[in-house]
Amino acid sequence: MKEINKVVLAYSGGLDTSVIAKWLAETYDCEVVTFTADLGQGEEVEPARAKAEALGIKEIYIEDLREEFVRDFVFPMFRANTVYEGEYLLGTSIARPLISKRLIEIANETGADAISHGATGKGNDQVRFELGAYALKPGVHVIAPWREWDLNSREKLMAYCAEHDIQIEKKKGKSPYSMDANLLHISYEGDILEDPWAEAEDDMWRWSVSPENAPDKPLYIDLTYKKGDIVAIDGQEMTPAEVLTHLNKVGGDNGIGRLDIVENRYVGMKSRGCYETPGGTIMLKGHRAIESITLDREVAHLKDELMPRYAKLIYNGYWWSPEREMLQKMIDESQECVNGVVRLKLYKGNVVVVGRKSEDSLFDENIATFEDDAGAYDQADAEGFIKLNALRLRIAANKGRKLG
């Protein structure tokens, strides 16, 4: 076992990471530094300080990273209209590179020679945390207790707590699901969701009403974009975190953003999960709408071709990679003229685009009109265009090659 003097632990204050904090100190005979991030998960993070102190932790980091999370991670991802496997808006995936970044920065600040996390050996998060850590500090040592210890059940964890006098808060009505939340989404896994045929219980959802119970009157909102990012809602300027917080509220109130999928994990297995991403669902719809009038056709199509690759990089943990940064520069360059306002109608789980306008619009009414275009477009030109594009098809047919 490698000699470790100090380790920085990504610490939530829950059962798993509380056990990990004690286990690290005992197993590696080292100092433990805890790092707790507020990414907008909707729960107070400050209580983690008292829990860490009770474990004998001397160096405790608790940080509000909501603005950095949305500004530097969520917004850049949404400039690409990023969706994994056609549905998933990557709410868990996009939070991991920021946590890895701060783990390494804190390790550097405190002189730690290792970092640790509570991700299991079955999931994607172990890959995301560690790929990011190695990219930012190649020589760092990573300790993943779930891959080392034999405390592989809740009963064993509870027994460890009793043996080592670790106080665990017992919450009434605790959810049976494994959950992860931040400002972009909340996820649910486990329990009945492990059967892909079983419908999720309606009382599982926490951020949204069901579409059936959403208001009977639609809500209209205007999103103002500057270089691909939302800077104001209904004319009121907002910070990135304020934008997403507001959209989560109005989206959830109108039954928007529920998702039930079976996804392909990077480690090879399929996993069923349910997600609530009300604000992100609205953002994706709005961004595609403003791009529809401001982006050149071939640029828009190229972005759509690159997006699945970009989404896979984020899902698999390669945010801190040269290929992701290269794609990001191309995406950001495409957003220079993505400015304007989109009007959306929110109604019973639906996000409907009802208007879009921009001073950088490429939409030309004089050319697109079904009425008299006053010579702006010569329809006779289309004949030659079609014949030239059909040339290879006509040659093949004349040579006897048959299609269909």
Percent of the chain with pLDDT over 90: 86
State whether 159 and 184 are in the same domain.
Answer: no
How does pLDDT run across 74-100, given as a tens digit for each residue? 999 999 999 999 999 999 999 999 999
Q: Does residue 129 share a domain with residue 256?
A: no
How many angstroms separate the CA atoms of 32 and 25, rounded? 6
Same domain, yes or no: 148 and 104: yes
Is residue 278 domain-resident?
A: yes
Tell me what pLDDT residue 167 has. 82
Question: In this predicted model, what pLDDT tens digit does every residue of 207-251 receive, in sequence order?
Answer: 999 999 999 999 999 999 999 999 999 999 999 999 999 999 999
Encode 101-116 in three state secondary structure: HHHHHHHHHHCCCEEE
For the ranges 13-22, 129-138, 298-307, which has the lowest average pLDDT?
Answer: 13-22
Residues 228 and 346 in one domain: yes
Domain assignment present for 226: yes
Answer yes or no: do 57 and 204 share one domain. no
Average pLDDT, the chain: 95
Residue 41 domain-assigned? yes
Q: What is the pLDDT of residue 404?
A: 81
Of the ranges 44-53, 121-130, 319-328, 380-389, which is most confident? 319-328
Residue 202 above 80 pLDDT?
Answer: yes
**CB-count exposure of residue 356 (10 Å: 0-12, 13-18, 19+):** buried
Query: For residue 309, what pLDDT is reported?
Result: 98
Kindly state whether residues 154 and 231 are assigned to the same domain.
Answer: no
What's the structural domain count of the chain?
2
Q: At what angle do helices 278-294 and 240-253 cross, to 10 degrees?
A: 110
- The model's pTM is 0.94
Q: Are residues 23 and 151 in the same domain?
A: yes
- The residues that are catalytic are 16, 96, 125, 178
| 393 lies in some domain | no
Q: Which amino acid is it at 295?
A: L
106 and 250 inside one domain: no
353 is a domain residue:
yes
Which CATH number characterizes residue 117's domain? 3.40.50.620
Q: Predicted confidence band at 130 (pLDDT cuts at 50, 70, 90)? A: very high
Could you tell me if residue 72 is inside a domain?
Answer: no
Helix (H, G, I), strand (E, B) or coil at 15: helix
Identify the band that residue 255 occupies on the pLDDT scale cut at 50, 70 and 90.
very high
- Listed residue (79, 31, 36, 39) closest to 55, CA to CA: 31
Q: In what order do the strands lie in the sheet with 141-143?
A: 59-64, 31-38, 6-10, 114-116, 141-143
Residue-number span of the structural domain to which 145 is assigned: 6-66+93-163
What is the signed CA dihedral for 130, 274, 43, 150, rounded to 10 degrees? -50
Q: Do 203 and 235 fall within a single domain?
A: yes
Whether 301 shows a pLDDT value over 90: the answer reads: yes
Residues 144 and 220 in one domain: no
> In this structure, what CATH number is given to the domain that contains residue 280?
3.90.1260.10
pLDDT of residue 172: 59
- 150 and 116 inside one domain: yes
Say if CB 116 and CB 20 are below 8 A apart: yes
Does residue 311 form part of some domain? no
Mean pLDDT value across residues 14-27:
94
**Residue 242 in domain:** yes
Kindly indicate the confidence band of residue 168, based on its pLDDT and cuts at 50, 70 and 90.
confident
Assess whether 52 and 116 both reside in one domain.
Answer: yes
